[in-house]
Every structure is written in C-alpha cells, then in structure tokens.
C-alpha cells in the first residue's frame, strides 16, 4: 500500500479539492498522482515543473509530439504509473 501525504492526497485549498472532485465526477477515477503533485504548492513546484513538462513535450525536438507522448506513456507503463 502506498503512503501518501494527506495534503497532496486530499488537496490543499478549495481550488484543488474542486478540481479533484470534477476529475472524479467526469472520469470515475481519482485524479492521477501527477496532477495532485502539480497542484500542491503550485508556486513552488507545480508551475515550474509544468513549464519544464511543456518545453520537453512541446518544444523544439528531433522527435514529433506523438513520439514524445509515446515515450512518456511507455516509461509510465514500465514504472507502473498511471499516465
């Protein structure tokens, strides 16, 4: 069983709690851990990491966006992580 930080698991503030509720309502599943982590203290982690993710996945590259998405999905699967 995974140990989770309560403030990341439940959300910190109304905005993240609402977002997690909408994700559960629309998908029937809890919000993925990556979303929960990015929304925890966004000023310290979420926004800077999201900028890095966007640059890596959408910035200039010899690989197409589709190839990068496929690589990310494959790595997530190998790590037994929801993508």
Token representation of residue 26: 């629309």
Q: Are 30 and 23 in contact (CB under 8 A)?
A: yes
Tens-binned pLDDT, residue by residue, of the chain (83 aa): 567 777 777 777 888 889 899 999 999 998 888 888 888 888 888 899 999 999 999 999 999 999 999 999 999 899 887 65
DSSP codes of every residue in the chain:
-----HHHHH-SSHHHHHHHHHHHHHHSSPPPHHHHHHHSSIIIIIHHHHHHHHHHHHSS-SS-HHHHHHHHHHHHHHTT---
Whole-prediction pTM value? 0.63
Beta-carbon contacts of residue 13 (< 8 Å; ≥ 6 apart): none
């Amino acid at each position: 069983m995974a140990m989770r930080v309560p403030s990341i698991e439940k959300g910190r503030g109304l905005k993240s709690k609402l977002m997690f509720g909408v994700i559960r309502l629309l998908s029937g599943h809890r919000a993925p851990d990556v979303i929960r982590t990015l929304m925890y203290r966004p000023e310290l982690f979420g926004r800077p990491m999201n900028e890095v993710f966007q640059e890596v996945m959408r910035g200039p590259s010899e690989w197409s966006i589709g190839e990068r998405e496929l690589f990310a999905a494959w790595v997530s699967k190998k790590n037994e992580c929801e993508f």
